Amino acid sequence: MKTLELAKAIAPLSEYARDVSEEPVILTVDGKPVAALVAIENADLETVTLSTHPQFLALIERSRARQKAEGGISSEEMRRRLGLTR
């Protein structure tokens, strides 16, 4: 994984965009990661957007905690309830 100190980023953005096709580029400030440039060619924009959205991530965490505390149903049971049995 490449890292790039933001203060030293002098190339045009298009150069860095070419680099991310091979591997992510982590942008740093004073050596600490602050952002990442990643290729999205194999992901849809909605997935990329939701994977970094704080409210969506909090919703997922609450759902996981609830499932762990209260239990859940199997995917097979969900299919049965939805009338999608094989």
Residue in the block written with tokens 């409210």: 55
Provide the pLDDT for residue 14: 85
CA 61 to the chain's CA centroid: 14
All structural domains of the chain with their residue ranges: 1-39, 43-86
Listed as ranges, residues in the chain with pLDDT below 50 are none
In order of 24, 28, 60, 71, the CA distances from 2 in angstroms are: 7, 11, 30, 41
CATH 3.40.50.1970 fits 1-39, yes or no: no
The dihedral region occupied by 23, where left means phi > 0, alpha psi between -120 and 50, and beta the remainder, is beta
Provide the pLDDT for residue 10: 87
CB 35 within 8 A of CB 57: no
